[in-house]
Structure 1
Amino acid sequence: MSRFDDAAPNTLFKSLEKAEVGEALPATATLLDAAAFNEAGLIPAIAQQHDSGEVLMMAWMNREALEETLRTGQVCYYSRSRQKLWRKGETSGQQQRLKSAALDCDGDTVLIKVDQTGPACHTGRRSCFYIQLDAEQAAVTSEPMIDPKALYGA
């Protein structure tokens, strides 16, 4: 039981701004009830390599994907194009093992710290963020680690 359990879902994250480090918080299910999933029932999830801090990718999770990730330790997303759960690495073998998960201060984004096996990007690159921008031009900053045809057999 925490002092935040009686907070209305629409004010829960605001009330957590005053929480002390180590203070008891509401159950995960209560926090997910208050999380800001969009009109499609999705929340953005940023995957970051747990030991290096490298940002690997951004994908979407629905509540089921997030709960499965927390329960199993194997990262699961929601594929908008396929309209179904997508267990990272199920076709490529390039899995993400969960190290930690955190909601941001507004409850509208999830940060997933992972241990990534091989490339995270469908292009075969370690990170999906390989197109660097400046005010004038863009540049590709990394080579594929693995040919995508070898990952997906296409």
Structure 2
Amino acid sequence: MTDLKSAPLWEAIKWNDDGLLPVIAQDYQSGTILMMAWMNPESLEQTIKLGEAVYWSRSRQKLWHKGETSGHVQKIHDVMLDCDGDTLLLKVDQVGGIACHTGRNNCFFRSLEGNDWKVNAEVLKSPEDIYGK
């Protein structure tokens, strides 16, 4: 395989000042937005090579292969770059149906109602059962 960083695909990407790119993960079948995360050049390269989502964890300052602990990996079906070149959309198969560390299908489980947030999705599996904490 050639070095992806020398490929034309790299020239179209506009990394932010921290060398990161926001990424939206979307279920490739239902269209549900599962989560938002960040990638750096190495995580994007790993995502392309592995065919599974690898993000950059800003809190841990390291690569994060989605599902490495939980088993809930994201298998890539499509990688799309927006018109400005500054956001990626990953269309994925969410293994196990759980994308959020809270045990829900997706991370967008709160809806604004009046001046408060209402939880709109149930926990499918407790985080203690997923992570053993």
> TM-score surpassing 0.5?
yes
- 1:141 aligned to 2:116? no
Which consecutive unaligned segments of at least 5 residues does structure 1 have?
Answer: 1-26
Matching residue of 2:103: 124
Q: Which has the higher contact order (CA 8 A, sep 6+)?
A: 2
d(CA) in 2 for partners of 1:104 and 1:77? Answer: 18
**AA aligned opposite 1:80:** R
- 1:97 aligned to 2:99? no
d(CA) in 2 for partners of 1:146 and 1:54? Answer: 19
Matches within 5 A, 1:78-93: 78-93=56-71
Secondary structure at 1:106 match in 2: coil
Aligned length: 128
Which consecutive unaligned segments of at least 5 residues does structure 2 have?
Answer: none
Larger radius of gyration: 1
Moved over 3 A (4+): none
Give the 3 Å change call, closer, same or farther, for CA 136–28 of structure 1 in structure 2.
farther
RMSD: 1.5
Larger relative strand fraction:
2
Question: Could you report, residue by residue, the CA deviation over 1:45-74 in whole angstroms, capped at 9, with x for unpaired residues?
Answer: 000000100000000000111111112101
Identity over aligned residues, as a percent?
52
Q: Choose from 44, 48, 52 the match for 1:74.
A: 52
Matching residue of 1:61: 39
Give the 3 Å change call, closer, same or farther, for CA 132–28 of structure 1 in structure 2.
farther
d(CA) in 2 for partners of 1:140 and 1:41? Answer: 33
Secondary structure at 2:7 match in 1: helix
Question: Could you report, residue by residue, the CA deviation over 1:27-62 in whole angstroms, capped at 9, with x for unpaired residues?
Answer: 983232341111111000000000100000000000
